[in-house]
Amino acid sequence: MEKRVKFNFEVYFTNGGFLKGEDFRLDIVGDTITDEALAACLIEDLNLLMVGKTVILKKEILQENHRRQEKQQAKSTMLIDLSHTIEHGLITYKGLPAPVVCDYLSREDSRQFYEEGTEFQIGKIEMVANTGTYIDCPFHRFKDGKDLSEVALTSLADLDAIVVRVPYRQSKVITVGHLQDLSLRNRAVLLHTGWDENWNTPSYYENNPFLSEEAAEFLKDANVKLVGIDSHNIDDTTKNTRPAHTILLGAGILIVEHMTNLTALPDDKFTFTAVPPKFKGVGTFPVRAMAKVITS
């Protein structure tokens, strides 16, 4: 049997004034609802802004049919982490130095500046920009390309996304054939090869799966926004050319390398975010790459 709640309320606003109501009724899911949850439902239902203190009074659960004929099913989202953890001594790219992660000010040393029981840690990090899961923007490849400070958030956050699955045991080369007949325009295209299972091992740096030059041209012509891959590099590192970087970054298409956990994603119907700090004069930097998936 459906339930409703009858209650009085007092809502006080942060910019002054208040709103009171008596015998207000709302549909609820389940047999009861807390005052805190009820206040949140009230604020959302009335579309109130700048709400401060909210008081719920004389709450009574009623056994009544819901009054709304069209009920929207509640949607919940799940965030999936697609980034490797960066730690002291981690090698991301063979030949580049590992990050140094240490204390600039330790908790023990901080005690001399504060009263007893109060302490802080200030960390110090020394690393190259190509560390962990990172994003490449045009400045990484082109002197006059946009750097991290110039890339708009609309190119980095909540991008409509799709996963293209090309297991590396079946093919080390991602070709146009793997990308055809897919809806790619204005989307983040995440290339799932499974290579991340070799992360932090000697095998990870050799003979990695990569995007062919023709496939990079195909993605450019499809007007994608970003291309990510769970591999050591989006290009073939056995050669000294980097056509995928040149084509994609030359077209303003961002690249995210060294991704992980793409197996946890659906093929589509999710959004992708990879936001770096806003550095001037830097073309690559680590990101906390993530997907937001609607679960119901």
Whether residues 265 and 177 fall in one domain? yes
Quote the pLDDT of residue 16: 82
Does residue 111 lie within any of the structural domains?
no
Residue range 190-209, pLDDT digits in tens: 999 999 999 999 999 999 99
CA distance 194 to 263: 8
Is the per-residue pLDDT at 15 higher than 90?
Answer: no
The dihedrals phi and psi of 200, each to the nearest 5 degrees, come to 65, 30
Q: Is residue 88 part of a domain?
A: no
**pLDDT tens digits, 251-274:** 999 999 999 999 999 999 999 999
Number of other residues whose CB lies within 10 A of the CB of residue 216? 26
182 and 52 fall within a common domain: no
Residue 190 covered by a domain: yes
Q: How far apart are CA 124 and CA 136, in angstroms?
A: 24
Residues 17, 21: Cα–Cα separation, whole Å: 14
The DSSP code for 295 is: -
pLDDT band (50, 70, 90) for residue 67: confident
Q: Is 192 helix (H, G, I), strand (E, B) or coil?
A: strand
What is the pLDDT, as a whole number, of residue 73? 52
> What confidence category does residue 74 fall into, taking pLDDT thresholds of 50, 70 and 90?
low
Q: What is the largest CA-CA distance in the chain?
A: 74
Question: Is position 37 within any domain?
Answer: yes
Q: What's residue 268's pLDDT?
A: 93
CATH of the domain at 148: 3.50.30.50
Both 50 and 149 in one domain: the answer is no
- The label of the residue with tokens 């206040």 reads 39
Residue type for position 120: F
Residue type, 288: R
How many domains, in total, are found in the chain? 2
Task: Report the candidate in 283, 288, 294 with the shortest Cα–Cα distance to residue 130.
Answer: 283
How would residue 70 be classed by pLDDT, with cut points 50, 70 and 90? very low
Identify whether 72 is part of a domain: no
Domain C-terminal end among 39, 62, 85 = 62
Q: Which residues, 6 or more positions from 269, have their beta carbon under 8 angstroms from its beta carbon?
A: 293, 294
Q: Are residues 284 and 200 in the same domain?
A: yes
- The answer to whether residue 21 scores a pLDDT higher than 90 is yes
Q: Is residue 49 included in any domain, yes or no?
A: yes
Let me know whether 49 and 195 are in one domain. Answer: no
What pLDDT is recorded for position 125? 98
Helix (H) or strand (E) holding 24: strand 18-28
Tell which of 43, 62, 81 closes a domain. Answer: 62
Q: Is residue 74 situated within a structural domain?
A: no
What average pLDDT does the chain have? Answer: 93
Rounded to whole angstroms, how far apart are CA atoms 49 and 218? 47
Residue 37: domain span: 3-62
In the sheet with 3-13, reading across from the earlier edge strand, the strands are 18-28, 3-13, 51-62
The per-residue pLDDT for range 138-162, each reduced to its tens digit, is: 999 999 999 999 999 999 999 999 9
β-pairing verdict for 173-174 and 210-211: parallel
pLDDT, greater one: 74 or 38: 38
Check whether residue 55 and residue 162 sit in a common domain: no
Same domain, 259 and 133: yes
Does residue 75 register a pLDDT over 80? Answer: no
Residue 173: its H or E element? strand 173-174
- Which one of 35, 62, 89 terminates a domain? 62
Looking at the structure, tell me whether residues 185 and 271 fall in a common domain: yes
pTM greater than 0.85: no
For residue 48, the model assigns a pLDDT of: 87
* Whether 257 contacts 141, CB under 8 Å: no
CB neighbour class for 92 (10 Å; exposed up to 12, middle 13-18, buried from 19): buried
220 and 247 Cβ atoms separated by less than 8 Å: yes
Residues 180 and 280 in one domain: yes
Question: Is residue 191 situated within a structural domain?
Answer: yes
